[in-house]
Amino acid sequence: MPREDADQALPEAREAGLPGAVAHVYPLGSRINAAGHLEIGGCDTIELAREFGTPAYVYAEDDMRERARVVTQAFARRTERFGVVYASKAFPCTAALRLFAEAGLDCDVASGGELHMALAGGFGADRIYMHGNNKSDRELEEALAAAVGHIVVDSFDEIDRLERLTGDASQRVLLRVTPGIEPETHASIRTGQADSKFGIPMAHVGQAIERCSQAGLELRGLHAHIGSQVYALDVYEALADVLLQIGDLPLLNLGGGFGIAYTRDERPPSADEYAEAMLRGAPRDVTVLCEPGRSLVGNAGVSLYTVGTVKEIPGVRTYVSVDGGMSDNIRPMLYGAVYEADLAARFGDSTPCRIAGMHCESGDVLVPEAALEDPRPGDILVIPATGAYGHAMANNYNAVRRPPVIFCREGDARVVVRRETYDDLTLRDR
């Protein structure tokens, strides 16, 4: 993939050596090249769209490596007793899993499928944590057969199943606890409140610990995850306090929830601030685990679309419709996730508009309030900060083929997940 020569930054002033006010929502190193086109990982996005088609998920490979390094170093500067566990549900792709395995991270999986992908991506089984609030017998058998490092026990029913399936064999487990802590985030991505499908209620934790012992399970620690997009860091110290009151165990998994910037006015805490908050309440002899997912991949990826129609409704609004939508990014429809959009060849905001998808739903709207620079049919539109949960939640509504995943690095682009074909849509039919 050819790279244009000039080094014109994205509009606005530079910030910490990166392009200006929009830099933190785009992958590291993004810029506008001599042709006036957005570059990701050194690759011209207009050329990417021409070569690979749209919609497409595009990632800056070095961005993910750097974010893994930054999180790891944030904890390493403060303690030797820590672990960084990639929450693979954010972006379950074997190329990404391989990248994070090579970076020295561990891996969190929440299904038999995610376990299969983590192993295929190069994670040693001993570096895998098996999650899930309703693991089937088959999934538990698969985890045991693979000899995963830890199973995160989520219910008394699961303890019973593990007792039956392990027999006399030993299995290391963490106990997932519902701490009764509600962070300030969207209700759909809170997980630590008392009324939650996840974990053991605090009132029953003592009984669960005893039951693990009776079942012959090796209880290594406690786990709690309070939610996603957590900006108020005091909740992590409160969470550590709650878990430490339960008992003295060697592992304390405080979950993930590290926030990212979806819009240019959002400023999430840094990796150092998250590490400091998580470690503040933990004793020095306890190993603290964290589970970042979104924060490792969210801003590393963008979605490319082609504008099909621009429809002005006098006195109402202008609709800019693209060739994707809720099939490749259902988060805005699922829980009101907010994104921004730009034209890959014309950054600017002269035209207020609504970015609509192509699906047969009035609610198929990717960005309700956007501002583009004179949008026209055929333009390539880019939505930043879509590296997390877009590919993971992609679907075939209206029999639309799921997009490819393209990794870009130093001007070279490679397809790590191909676009589906029409034959793929009927492959499982009988």
Give the model confidence (pLDDT) of 300-323 as tens digits: 999 999 999 999 999 999 999 999
What residue ranges define each of the domains in the chain, with the CATH number in brackets?
23-53+300-426 (2.40.37.10), 62-295 (3.20.20.10)
Closest CA to 26 of 35, 34, 12: 12
Q: Please report the pLDDT score of residue 64 as a whole number.
A: 98
CB atoms within 10 A of CB 88: 28
3-class DSSP state for residue 427? coil
Q: Which residues have a Cβ under 8 Å from the Cβ of 135 and sit 6 or more positions away?
A: 143, 151, 154, 158, 161
Most confident of 15-24, 94-103, 176-185: 94-103
Q: Is 315 left (phi over 0), alpha (psi -120 to 50) or beta?
A: left
Q: What DSSP state is assigned to residue 255?
A: -
- Find, among 274, 282, 270, the residue nearest to 221 by Cα: 282
Q: Which residue has the higher pLDDT, 203 or 22?
A: 203
Can you tell me the mean pLDDT for 415-428? Answer: 98
Positive or negative, the CA dihedral 301, 7, 348, 318 is negative
Indicate the pTM of the whole model.
Answer: 0.92
Tokens 């509009």 appear where? 11
Supply the residues annotated as catalytic: 360
Mean pLDDT across 128-156: 97
Q: Which helix (H) or strand (E) element contains residue 380?
A: strand 380-384
> For residues 272 and 292, what is the distance between their CA atoms, to the nearest angstrom?
13
